Amino acid sequence: MRLWLALGLVLAALAVVSLATGAADLGVALGRDGSKAALIFWASRLPRTLAVMLTGAALAVSGVVMQQILRNRFVEPGTVGTGESAALGLLAVTLIAPAAPIWVKMAVTALAGLAGTALFLRLVRGIPPREVMLVPLAGLVWSGVLGAMVLHIGWQTDLLQLVQVWLMTGEFSGVIAGRYELLWIAGAAAALALFAADRFAILGLGEGLATGLGLKPAAVMRLGLVVVSVVTALVMATVGMVPFVGLVVPNITSRIMGDNLRRSLPVTALGGAALLLACDIAGRLVIHPYEVPVGTVLGVVGTMLFLWLLWRNPRHG
């Protein structure tokens, strides 16, 4: 309970900082012209802060779901090819039907993410669960291959700018009111996973045990896959790839409060929001008034945390 409170306070403080941070100085704008300050606040600062928190929470939750499905702590949607295959789908639909309405693009992106992840699940089925390091390794190589395809198609079609700036490195500088609302659906999908938290916890015990406890593992797995790919696709299409949030936050939460997902999943969501918001603020401050994309900041912070997790606790993967 205390963890809840502490994380909530941290997140609130971060949100206030985020609302006050940006290229334009709100105080100065306020002194000169109140309506301009209000415009900046309502059209840019508030949507951005909300988008970051939604994304962080949704990604952290989908990381947990992925880890339960694969029964491996060191995976997340970004490292098993979900992100890259969603990017492939988005690229394909952008090329084939550029005029398609946004919901069609979303659907195609989500379906592609789903297909890529399902294929990976089939391919790694032969690896026994105790080979802890092999699944994330195979996942990273798999996403590398898919990512190379995305890069290559982008190169061929003169879309490399779009691919590298928009898809491969997530950033929130483009978020304004009217451009981020799809993330609420990602938040809703993650909330759905919160309600099914106990099922995912049981699924993580293994198919045999889960069946014995009266659960249909295949159905829960399908639900999990849908949640993960919807969240990934929406995040991918709105802000681009945001790596490692779904990996490090669940691991740290489970280290502190164990694996009772009903209790720990909301904390994980809060933690994901806080981590992503902190990284986003850092990215905004380093070369103020310019920005470093949050994907790049996370590439540094997230990998360091990952390495720490990898070497700190070798026995209980």
In the bound state with other proteins, the residue whose beta carbon lies nearer, of 13 and 148, is 148
Q: Shortest gap between Cβ of 291 and other proteins (angstroms)?
A: 8
Q: What x-and-dash track marks residues 154-193 binding other proteins by CB under 8 A?
A: -xx-------x----x------------------------
CB atoms within 10 A of CB 55: 31
Q: Which stretch binds other proteins (CB under 8 A): 51-59, 105-113, 135-143, 265-273?
A: 135-143
- Asked whether position 64 contacts other proteins by CB under 8 A, the answer is no
- Asked whether position 151 contacts other proteins by CB under 8 A, the answer is yes
* All residues at 6 or more sequence positions from 36 whose CB lies less than 8 Å from its CB, including other chains: 29
Q: What x-and-dash track marks residues 94-133 binding other proteins by CB under 8 A?
A: -----------------------------xx-xx---xxx
CA distance linking residue 69 with residue 61, whole number of Å: 13
CB atoms within 10 A of CB 76: 33
Tokens of residue 60, six digits = 């952290």
Q: Which stretch binds other proteins (CB under 8 A): 27-35, 60-68, 252-260, 307-315?
A: 307-315
List the one residue from 184, 222, 263, 299 that touches other proteins (CB under 8 A).
299
- Asked whether position 92 contacts other proteins by CB under 8 A, the answer is no
- Asked whether position 290 contacts other proteins by CB under 8 A, the answer is yes
Radius of gyration (C-alpha) of the chain in whole angstroms: 19
Q: Which stretch binds other proteins (CB under 8 A): 4-12, 145-153, 198-206, 231-239?
A: 145-153
- Asked whether position 149 contacts other proteins by CB under 8 A, the answer is yes
Q: Look-up: residue for tokens 């909300």?
A: 50
Distances (CA, A) of 276 to 160, 216, 239, 280: 26, 34, 13, 6
CA distance linking residue 17 with residue 22, whole number of Å: 10
| Angle, helices 182-195/46-70, rounded to nearest 10 degrees | 40
**Nearest residue to 170 via CA among 83, 289, 62:** 83
Left (φ > 0), alpha (ψ -120 to 50) or beta: where does 313 sit?
Answer: beta
The Cα angle at residue 317 between residues 191 and 82, in degrees rounded to 5: 45
List the one residue from 6, 97, 141, 285 that touches other proteins (CB under 8 A).
141
List the one residue from 101, 178, 208, 314 that touches other proteins (CB under 8 A).
314
Which value, to the nearest 10 degrees, does the dihedral of the CA atoms of residues 279, 283, 286, 288 take? -140
- Asked whether position 308 contacts other proteins by CB under 8 A, the answer is no
- Sites of contact with other proteins (CB under 8 A): 74, 123-124, 126-127, 131-134, 136-138, 140-142, 144-145, 148-149, 151-152, 155-156, 164, 169, 286-287, 290, 292-293, 296-300, 303-304, 306-307, 310-311, 314
